[in-house]
Structure 1
Amino acid sequence: MSPHNTRRRHAGWISALAAAALVVPVLGSPAQAAPGDPATASSFDLTSGPDLSAQVADLKAALPTQGVQDLLDQGNRVAKTGASCTTDPFGTGDDGKVLAPARKLCWDTGDSVTEEWIPQGITGVSDAQADELWGSRKPLVTAWYDKAGSALCSSDPGTCYDKGVRLSFLDPETAVPGNPEGRRYRHVLLVEPYYNSYGNASYKAVDIHAGGIAWYKYYLYVADTMNGLRVFDMRSILDLNHDQDASVDDTTLDGLKSNVRDETKIGRQSGVYYSHTYRYVMPQVASYKFVSAQGNSPSEATCVATGAPKASYISIDRSNTAAPSLIMGEYCNSDATHVEKGRVGALPVDDATGLLKAAGGVVAATEAYHLPRDLTQGAARYDGMYYFNRSYLANSGSLRRATVSGGRLVDYGANITNAVGPEDLSFEHGQGVPGGGTQYLWSLTEHRMDTADPACTDTGSPCGRVIYAHRVADVVARP
């Protein structure tokens, strides 16, 4: 979860850090913890947010729903893989330093270069299901946040509409007919349901960074940086263009209309449902809020050591099938003044329901540690091994490993040079194959090729957006 406008805001961070040195944090100035030390697990505790079930039920009574397999079958964009995927944010490949990916997919041209949407989170059916199948498919899901509401719109805000967060549903296994290296995918807009001033169910954009996502059973968890988690349901994907003819408004289940042509509008307005032109919207069904007070600032990349953490990235640990966990961690930029490198914690998941496991109304974290390194953009855990993606601006990223030893989270092995701009992580556990299948560590990169930035040009350093996976065996084999 890199902060908004990372490269453009770097200079601002420096001045902000200097100013912050004169400010006493809201939660005080606790004794400095060493990297890897145990952290206060209760800082990660969560409690349920408002009940949205009535709003969601009313929306599902008004608009038809579609399943994940339908989205994959109706994918209207094509990702490339194999020799057709030429984008290479890894640069030199596996030269003894850079770990080249075992699998790689490239977005279509529009998504590769868009300034509006920035890719961040990733999860997959391996997180959701023990057999790693959704019906007969093996989808991946990624999240993008809309940058249009910030710097991109500063010159002409009247032409920009902050659409919040969208998901991309992609099947990396199934080729497009007649195109063996093509893989279909489809975008879905996340929305927050509410009752409007007339008492009608409507929805608005989900204006968060979505730095991490995690899918378990039917539920999709989305990191809400300063607050906790938003929850969405794969059974509640609403279709605003069921007849697949965008040129005319559809008649909805409640006798109104839906429109997928007007980019300026979202939600129910004057008897018409809008979606910023997206055919599919996915309403939030629940949320989890931090119990502890939040001492971090939404405008700063630095972190404090106590109180609620930032929910910068999340993943699912399925290695203990009796007690699956949701892993949550912080992105923090430290320096001589702000030394905190962030924290990572684990929250219990109820395998029977797919929701977080609460007792007495509180989801109690089972453990937490101060991170060994700062600038962490993603974390995954499996069989006790933590994997961390780190990145900084347009420099090559790194993949780090750590284990708990002597009660502390300590580095395991050396740095593994990675792609430029690596983000969230998701672990494909290989349990769905009889006898055990290949395990992969999935991630994605955020930086588009930017000819206006000498750090990321088509002929310069190896930027570019891809989805990629390392074989876990290749990662473990590194010293």
Structure 2
Amino acid sequence: MGLVSTDKAPFALEQATGDLAEGAAKLAEEIGSTAVEALLASANRKAVRKGAAAALGSMEPKPAEWYAFDDKDQDTADWYPQGLTCGEESGSIGVPVFLVSWYFKPEAGERGIRVSFLSPQTLKYQHALLVAAKPDGSYGPIDIHAGGIACHGDLLYVADTVRGLRVFDLNNLLDLRTAQDDLGDPERVGRHGNKFHAFGYRYVIPQTDLWRVVTAGPRFSFASVDHSGDTPLLITGEFKDSDPDGWVGRWELDMSGGEPADAFVMGHPKIQGALSWDDTWYLSQSAGSSAKGKLLVHAGEEARTRQFPIGPEDLTVQDGKLWSVTEFRDKRVVFGVPL
């Protein structure tokens, strides 16, 4: 079983910016933007190097390196990590950093999606809320799964399961402390009167663009960027729980024409992340909250299976290693293994 080329037309995307860019610009003008480096310098949480080892199960060999989220983020049943990208994938962020997307699970009291910025140098990290802004200066949470993220230049791509890819410009990383003395009401979001609220988060990032599916049906579950060749390629595809016919496709970053450059049926169920690198495909496969996952490696006709931690998700490459993030409570780590 392995990747088989398939018709790419069903996965075409079209740009649907609408008033997203206008709303984001209005919000940035009123609040003021900051840099990733400044966010990390003031980060309010601390990861633990080689913590939460339960995430690894009986995996051998162990990852080369891993970072565990703090006790509060390990224990919460409200937020689940899903997507992973990094500064090297971006190519324009000036410091080593991992970005991790989380979705809010409870149906009641929706709080949307957030991204953690984690420094592998200091282990400090900080959450930022991703929001949908309107031209009148208001904004609200985004209720999606955020199963995968990818970064190229200043643009952060977030997989939206049924719509396609949402886009956020990291130049619009907004610090509420520049606009007001406090962080507002931790139970409210948006602009109320002359005050901004973001459920107590200090940083917000408004959506600036949308690449939406042309034909209903394809589902977008993960995202990554292959920057091993001369032309970087944006990768996204579909998780299927029991069927092996989930798809994966690669787009040129200008998204010209809307269709992917190529598309494949993966031949495996439960794929949570996919990445091509130097003519090799890496697929992250989950097996529930208590069993180890697998890393499926396809290079031409050769196929190999490697051990992976419990609950592996999205994939990215930094410092010559393949990195992923795990999602389950008390087993939440960002980890790296050899390519």
Q: Do the two structures share a fold, i.e. TM-score over 0.5?
A: yes
Secondary structure, counterpart of 1:377 in structure 2: strand
Partner of 2:104: 146
What is the rounded CA distance, in whole Å, between the counterparts of 2:329 and 2:238 in structure 1? 24
TM-score for the superposition, normalised by structure 1: 0.68
> What do residues 4-35 of structure 1 show as CA deviations (whole Å, max 9, x unaligned)?
xxxxxxxxxxxxxxxxxxxxxxxxxxxxxx86
Task: Report how far residue 237 of structure 1 moved.
Answer: 1.0
Q: Does 1:235 align with 2:171?
A: yes
**Aligned match of 2:151:** 215
**Aligned amino acid, residue 90 of structure 1:** L
- Residue equivalent to 2:55: 89
Compared with structure 1, are the counterparts of its residues 384 and 443 closer, same or farther at alpha carbon in structure 2 (3 Å cutoff)? same
Q: Which portions of structure 1, spanning 4 or more consecutive aligned residues, are displaced by more than 3 angstroms?
A: none
After TM superposition, give the deviation of residue 376 of structure 1 in Å: 0.3
Match of 1:316 in 2: 225
Tell me, yes or no, if the aligned pair for 1:387 and 1:402 is still in contact at 8 Å. Answer: yes
Indicate whether 1:383 and 2:278 are aligned: yes
Structure 2 CA distance for aligned equivalents of residues 138 and 274 of structure 1: 29
Please name the residue that 1:114 is paired with: 76
Q: Classify 1:340/1:471 alpha carbon distance in 2 versus 1 (closer, same or farther; 3 Å).
A: closer
Q: Shift in Å at residue 404 of structure 1?
A: 4.5
Task: Output aligned runs, 1:56-455, within 5 Å.
Answer: 56-82=24-50, 85-94=51-60, 99-129=61-91, 134-135=93-94, 137-148=95-106, 150=107, 157=108, 161-173=109-121, 175=122, 183-195=123-135, 200-242=136-178, 249-250=180-181, 260-294=183-217, 309-321=218-230, 323-334=231-242, 339-349=243-253, 356-358=254-256, 362-394=257-289, 395-405=291-301, 412-413=303-304, 415-428=305-318, 430=319, 439-449=320-330
Q: Aligned partners of 1:92 and 1:342: how far apart in 2?
A: 28
Deviations 1:361-395 (A, max 9, x none): x3221111111211101111101100011012222
User: Is the 2:309–2:326 contact (alpha carbons within 8 Å) kept by the matching residues of 1?
Assistant: yes
Aligned alpha-carbon RMSD (Å)? 1.7
CA deviation profile, 1:179-235 (whole Å, cap 9, x unmatched) = xxxx1111000001114xxxx221110111010000100000000011100000111
Q: Deviations over 1:72-104 (max 9, x none)?
A: 10110011115xx2533222342xxxx410011
SS at match of 1:447: coil
Using a 3 Å threshold, how does the CA distance of structure 1 residues 91 and 35 change in structure 2: closer, same or farther?
closer
Equivalent pair of 1:208/1:224 in contact (CA under 8 Å): yes
Mapped partners of 1:319, 1:113: distance in 2: 36
2:19 maps to 1:38: no
TM-score w.r.t. length of structure 2: 0.94
Cα distance in 2 for partners of 1:373, 1:325 equals: 22
Q: 1:104 to 1:340 in 2, by over 3 A?
A: closer
1:280 and 1:185 map into 2 onto residues whose CA distance is: 12
Structure 1 unpaired stretches of 5+: 1-33, 151-156, 176-182, 244-248, 251-258, 295-308, 350-355, 406-410, 431-438, 450-463, 473-479
Which amino acid letter does the alignment assign opposite residue 138 of structure 1? P
- Letter paired with 2:126: R
| Structure 1 residues 278-322: Cα deviation after superposition (integer angstroms, max 9, x where no partner) | 11100000010111222xxxxxxxxxxxxxx2110010001112x
Distance 2:258 2:52 in 1: 44
- The DSSP-based 3-state class of the residue aligned with 1:66 is coil
Rg larger for: 1
Instruction: Give the Cα separation in 2 of the matches to 1:53 and 1:144.
Output: 23
Deviation (angstroms), 1:440: 0.3
